[in-house]
Structure 1
Amino acid sequence: MSYSFLNTFKFFNKDITLKNRVVIPPLTECMAFHDGHVTTDELNYYRKHTGGVGLYITAVANVNDEGKGFEGQLSAADDKFIPDLHQLASAIQQNGTKAVLQIFSAGRMSSTAILRGKQPVSASPIVAARAGSEQPRALSSDEVKQTIVDFGEATRRAIQAGFDGVEIHGANTYLIQQFFSPNSNQRTDEWGGTFEKRMKFPLAVIKKVNETVDKYADRPFIVGYRISPEEIEKPGITFDDTLKFIDVLKDQPIDYLHVSMSDVWRKSLTDKSITTPLNETIKQHLQGKVPMIVVGDVQTPEDAAKATDAGFDLVALGRENIREPQWIQKVEHHDEASIRYTISLDDLDELGIKPPFFDIILALSGPAGIPISTLKQTDRESANEAIDHFLSGGK
């Protein structure tokens, strides 16, 4: 059977062609050192999980020290990280896979513990509506401008490290989204208040990243942008807000828009009158000007083909890639029957999954809080069930 996602894809405004339309989205694996340096375990994981797909986006890297969001996170905050990032880019770029470094600041989605005693920052001093959140301090106008510069500097480091692009992380409640959200941005200066002012920070980051690419890149270099289409907070980002933002984004110098959702075909979480999948409406608003990556609960070749057959340019394979790094190769070789849809504890070494990553899986799906180092034989059945629950999209 011939699948449309196996076709090549050329970016509209860059001389870069992907060997297929399958993308690995950013997957938090917490395997970097505490200071942001890349570990051997991390390189091993990427080597095991790349090679088949057209585009591989790394776990997120912070652009400055205040932007760190969790332990074991990559950093692009200093030139000292460039050699490590070069190793990471090289690990991904096997057999022609393109490597993209995702960059962000966590903003208020951090803590004083993670920031080694510093208070988290945000657009406004408003606590996130989730357990354990701390009150952030509002960035000054000068700090906002410096953060924009920091995104540019992180982009320069990605270029010098040999990556094929960067993805600006404007999704999942992190700092860029915090500036766009009426929930977390209640400023009264040039960086907040009206809808237009709430767009100013993300647009300034896009501009600075592209200025950096123009100045430093000696080869075609991808600039992507990731969004979350809604917030459940009230007030929060509505889907109408997102569509108005996309009407602006489609004319910005970005090479793709990556829509972060748990299901490619999901409808609105907050407005039950919306009966069309959000991604379909977003695609219409893009008017063919910007390619689109869709993600969420794509497991089988049929799932991926449904997305690309529907006209979505690129489809991301997230949790399924964790358990089956040879997914593309098996499809190409007409060996779909051997694709693995479950894993057990006995597969972890083969897949390069180390304790921090495994603990995330357990924490998100139960049994919560059981570190792999203390997991006993009697827990194996429940742990294997937890893994499968997480990887099949369970919450």
Structure 2
Amino acid sequence: MKLNQIFSPYQLKTKFELRNRLVLSPLNIQSSLFDGTVSLNDLDFHRRVAKHVGLDVVGSAYVSNNGSTAFGSISVADDNKIEGLTKLASVIHRDGSKAILQLVHAGRMTNHLITQGSPAVAPSPIKAMHGQFDIPIELTETMIEQIIHDFETAAKRAILAGFDGVELHGANTFLLQQFMSPASNKRSDKFGGSLINRIQFPLLVVQRIIKLVQRNLDHSFIIGYRISPEEFESNGLKLASNLILMRTLKKIGIDYLSLSLHRYDQQSIANNELATFPIASIVKQAIGKDLPIIISGEINKRFDLERATGDLFASGRKLMSDPNWPVKLNSENFQMSTTSKISYTELSNLSHRNKNSVGGFG
């Protein structure tokens, strides 16, 4: 996509316009207070790093105490956190960016130290293959309903805090992805087994939040979904299964998809038939042009932005190292557009000279 398009206002949905198509990736900077309260460091980081983007996605706010993904993560698990979250949303809005709060439950990707004593939970009692994580407790249907409720109440707190939307974290092998994956979901009830069953939990979470928004707000509040397109394990989640989830999410009414990629142009590793095409292009073709896609993964320079397939372009590392990168890019775009134009005087002089030469004007 050309720079002039990237720096033009973008209508994400009705009554929701972004000043440009740049997004601060959902980073977990792990600088919150011990109980997940927003800290002064959180406020300072987002004030500095997000001041020139169209959208700031605040990363990994856990919806319940047993769902924290790391020490220092932001909490949205109780009403006491609303005050700090309100300050955070206000800081992001101050310079013109929109604010999205990413909601997460770690599932098995945590331990009792991170959760301050709460046991890790998951679709099945299978320990994660990497990391210092505990063997999780298998969720009962009652516990599953409680977590769905936790996501719903977390979204309500985001609304009360003044955020413009929420993003469901269905990537990076956290709980929403764990239910989708046959490697981590060995259940034999209505939430496990077939893809139709494994897809139920993420859909129920999204549907509950959509209903919450419809009951309480106009349609300008944003609901996004972040997804890892595939797992690399031989028995892991396949791209084809996730494409079905993406199309279903589009059908029930999400506002955007955010692809979690190592590189914006990466190809499928687990599917040889699709290995010659960028995953982002496959997703865009599968879901259509009318659902916006946020693309991320090593977007660090103009070449990357112009080559990436997406509607919005997320960066984390580059913006952390240089928060003024969007300003520099836009300045470069302005200089290119002005130097490529010929003034009226120059055009008149050129016309006059060419009239007096063979093959000139006239």
TM-score when normalising by structure 2: 0.88
**How many angstroms does 1:164 deviate by?**
0.5
Structure-2 separation of matches of 1:232 and 1:72: 29
**How many angstroms does 1:41 deviate by?**
1.2
Q: Which residue of the partner structure matches residue 88 of structure 1?
A: 88
**How many angstroms does 1:329 deviate by?**
1.4
Q: Which residue of the partner structure matches residue 233 of structure 2?
A: 233
CA deviation vs aligned residue, 1:205-244 (integer Å, no higher than 9, x gap) = 1101111112223572100001001112231101121122
**How many angstroms does 1:117 deviate by?**
2.5
Residue aligned with 1:96, SS: coil
Any stretches of 5+ residues in structure 1 without a counterpart?
A: 338-395
Q: Letter of the 2:319 partner, please give it.
A: N
CA deviation vs aligned residue, 1:240-282 (integer Å, no higher than 9, x gap) = 2112222322212100000100111000122344210111000
Q: Letter of the 2:299 partner, please give it.
A: V
Q: Which residue of the partner structure matches residue 23 of structure 1?
A: 23
CA deviation vs aligned residue, 1:110-147 (integer Å, no higher than 9, x gap) = 00111223320001101111143321011110110111
Structure-2 separation of matches of 1:199 and 1:41: 37
Q: Which residue of the partner structure matches residue 9 of structure 2?
A: 8
Q: After TM superposition, which residue ranges in structure 1, 4 or more long, deviate above 4 angstroms?
A: none
* Structure exhibiting the larger radius of gyration computed from Cα positions: 2
CA deviation vs aligned residue, 1:79-129 (integer Å, no higher than 9, x gap) = 111110000101111332100000010010000111223320001101111
RMSD, aligned CA: 1.7
1:51-62 superposed matches below 5 A: 51-62=51-62
Q: Which residue of the partner structure matches residue 353 of structure 1?
A: none
Q: Which residue of the partner structure matches residue 216 of structure 2?
A: 216
Q: Which residue of the partner structure matches residue 319 of structure 1?
A: 317
Count of matched residue pairs: 333
Structure-2 separation of matches of 1:234 and 1:334: 45
Matched, 1:285 2:286: yes
- CA distance 1:335–1:289, shift in 2 (3 Å): closer
Q: Letter of the 1:267 partner, please give it.
A: Q
Residue aligned with 1:243, SS: helix
Structure-2 separation of matches of 1:118 and 1:103: 19
Matched, 1:39 2:39: yes
CA deviation vs aligned residue, 1:147-190 (integer Å, no higher than 9, x gap) = 11111100110001000000000010000000111111111111
Matched, 1:118 2:118: yes
Structure-2 separation of matches of 1:25 and 1:131: 23
Structure-1 separation of matches of 2:219 and 2:247: 29
Structure-2 separation of matches of 1:160 and 1:154: 10
Q: Which residue of the partner structure matches residue 155 of structure 1?
A: 155
Structure-2 separation of matches of 1:215 and 1:289: 25
Q: Which residue of the partner structure matches residue 303 of structure 1?
A: 304
Structure-2 separation of matches of 1:271 and 1:111: 32
Structure-2 separation of matches of 1:53 and 1:304: 14
Are the counterparts in 2 of residues 257 and 291 from structure 1 also a CA contact under 8 Å?
A: yes
- CA distance 1:294–1:335, shift in 2 (3 Å): closer
Residue aligned with 1:75, SS: coil
Are the counterparts in 1 of residues 60 and 69 from structure 2 also a CA contact under 8 Å?
A: no
Structure-2 separation of matches of 1:127 and 1:219: 40
Q: Which residue of the partner structure matches residue 380 of structure 1?
A: none
**How many angstroms does 1:336 deviate by?**
10
Q: Which residue of the partner structure matches residue 346 of structure 1?
A: none
Q: Letter of the 1:21 partner, please give it.
A: R
Q: Which residue of the partner structure matches residue 331 of structure 1?
A: 329
Are the counterparts in 1 of residues 4 and 333 from structure 2 also a CA contact under 8 Å?
A: no
Aligned-residue sequence identity (percent) comes to 37
1:109-258 superposed matches below 5 A: 109-217=109-217, 220-258=220-258
Are the counterparts in 1 of residues 263 and 298 from structure 2 also a CA contact under 8 Å?
A: yes
**How many angstroms does 1:57 deviate by?**
0.2
